[in-house]
Amino acid sequence: MRAEQIAEEFPVVSIDANALDAARMLAEHRLPGLLVTDAGGNPCAVLPASQVVRFILPRYVQDDPSLAGVLNESVADRCAEKLSGKKVRDVLPDHLVDIPPAKADDTIIEVAALMARLRSPLIAVVKEGRLIGVVTASRLLGAALEH
């Protein structure tokens, strides 16, 4: 099975898009992440939902999770404020910037290897330099388990 056979349409966001809008898209559609494109519309990064959660969580709670239980809801309400005025590029994890897309004729094992190496919930698929879709980890697992 090849990447183009399991690639599906998927929401895409520009690297210069509003980070709060991207977070809302992740939440509303319950996505594992978003494919990020550069100014030319080429896939260039992946923004995992988990990275956005990490970005909005205060650093001191990340360092000491026991503090999460003693914080009140007003702190949670301010989490979205951390995204205000930020662009998608500001919240991208370093390891998921400048990621190579899979080629349409790559096998699902090649896509899985790329996904695992990058620790990415999704991989862009291109054919003749044009984005044809995305393979998500759950879609890849489903295809692998069919056989």
pLDDT digit string, tens, across residues 114-130: 999 998 999 999 999 89
Q: What's the domain count of the chain? A: 1
pLDDT, greater one: 147 or 100: 100
- Residue 59: give its domain's CATH number: 3.10.580.10
What is the mean pLDDT of the segment spanning 40-55? 86
Over residues 31-39, the mean pLDDT reads 92
Q: What is the pLDDT of residue 98?
A: 85
Does an H or E element contain 139, and which?
helix 137-146
Residues spanned by the domain of 93: 3-146
Question: What is the rounded CA–CA span in Å between residue 86 and residue 57?
Answer: 15
Among 136, 142, 139, smallest CA distance to 49 is for 136
**pLDDT band per the 50, 70, 90 thresholds, residue 77:** low
Whether this model's pTM surpasses 0.85 = no
